[in-house]
Each structure stands twice: as structure tokens, then as C-alpha cells.
Amino acid sequence: MEIPLQITSRDFELTEAMKSEIMEKADKLDKCYERIMRCRVIVEAPHRHQQEGRLYNVQIYLTVPGGELIVKREPNEDLYAAIRNSFENALRQLEDFARRQRGDVKRHEEPPYARISSLFPEMGYGFITTIDDREIYFHKNSVVNRDFMKLKEGMEVRFTEEKGEKGPQASSVTVA
């Protein structure tokens, strides 16, 4: 971190063990993502509930290139659990931030295209032929958002393939 870790407590005094725990967890964040410019941790015990006892709230503010990541979790009766939960959440946010910076964004593959090669409306099924010339069975119930009876041979469709009892079959067929 470019700016040293800043730990603030409100409404109570942090022990050295608690500060040490926070410093250790912040050091792990710094090792996970070396470009953290600043980390501020605010630990507070805002109010006391008669039935629940004292609740602790841990907020983490991380300044990173291009923005700030903020962690605010639900209060917890156990201070160490509140610290752990907040830092786990901060780690997930940092990992997501690093992935976005690297451009490692998940891309979902488009379903493949095919053409309806034959239809048997009275029997309630048909076949599609894929680009690589494979023939795949589909049932009228696998047609998405379209009436099976409106399909025509030669129509282009997208499909999701699965293994059927007698070979490949389309579990969903969508008119392209």
C-alpha cells in the first residue's frame, strides 16, 4: 500500500490483538492485489441491543487505481467474525476488480446454429442439421417461445444439445 493502513474504532477501544488481526488481513489483501493505494478500516459498535448484546460493524474502504471499493457488512455480535466476513468480502471484490482490469470477463458461448431438415408435425418431432452436417432429433416440447406447428423446413434455429436415448437430441430449440 502506498499510504499506510488506517484503523479507526468508534464507540469502543480496540485491543492490540484486534489491531493485529486487522493488520494481518489487510496484508493478505495487499499481497492479493499489489496496487492498493490506501486501506481504511472502521470498526464500530454503534448501539447495544438488550436481547442481542453488542453488535460490531466493520467497514473497509480500499482505494485502487480508477476507483474505491467499499465493504459494508451486516453487524455481528462476534468482533472477530465481523472482521473476517468483511475482509473475505473485500478479497472477493478485489479479485473481481483485478479480473475486470485484466479483461478476464466471462463470456457465455452462443448456442450453435442449425437448420430444420425434416418435420413430422403429426408425430410431434423433427430433425435439425448442424453446420458440421450432424442430424439431431428434437421434440415439439423442446421448441422455445414458438408454436411447433409454425416451424418450417429450412428455418434457421439455435439449439442446446444433450445426449438422448438414441443419440444426440436438442433439449431446446429457438428460432433464430
The answer, yes or no, to whether residue 49 has pLDDT greater than 90, is: no
Tens-digit pLDDT profile for residues 127-163: 999 988 999 999 999 998 777 888 999 999 999 888 8
Regarding predicted confidence, which is higher, 108 or 7? 7
23 with 86, same domain: the answer is yes
What pLDDT does 105 receive?
Answer: 63
The answer, yes or no, to whether residue 108 has pLDDT greater than 80, is: no
Distance CA(107)–CA(175), nearest Å, equals 22
How many domains does the structure of the chain reveal? 2
Average pLDDT, the chain: 88
Q: How confident is the model at residue 42 (pLDDT cuts 50, 70, 90)?
A: very high
41 with 94, same domain: the answer is yes
14 with 96, same domain: the answer is yes
Tens-digit pLDDT profile for residues 2-22: 889 999 999 888 999 999 999
The reply to whether 108 falls in a domain is no
Whether the CB-CB separation of 30 and 1 falls below 8 Å is answered with yes
Range of the domain at 37: 6-102
26 with 79, same domain: the answer is yes
CATH number at residue 135: 2.40.50.140
96 with 124, same domain: the answer is no
81 with 25, same domain: the answer is yes
Of the residues 71, 102, 133, which one is the last residue of a structural domain?
102
34 with 79, same domain: the answer is yes
Of the residues 50, 74, 102, which one is the last residue of a structural domain?
102
What pLDDT does 130 receive?
Answer: 92
CATH number at residue 37: 3.30.160.100
First-residue to last-residue Cα distance in the chain: 51
44 with 11, same domain: the answer is yes
Distance CA(133)–CA(38), nearest Å, equals 58
Mean pLDDT, rounded, for 74-94: 92
pTM value > 0.85: no
63 with 140, same domain: the answer is no
What pLDDT does 33 receive?
Answer: 87
118 with 77, same domain: the answer is no
What pLDDT does 59 receive?
Answer: 95
Of the residues 43, 68, 102, which one is the last residue of a structural domain?
102
Whether the CB-CB separation of 55 and 49 falls below 8 Å is answered with yes
Mean pLDDT, rounded, for 109-127: 90
Q: How confident is the model at residue 89 (pLDDT cuts 50, 70, 90)?
A: very high
Q: Percent of the chain, pLDDT > 70?
A: 93
Residue type, 63: T
Q: How far is CA 24 from the centre of its chain?
A: 27
Q: Which residue has the cell 460493524?
A: 57
The reply to whether 107 falls in a domain is no
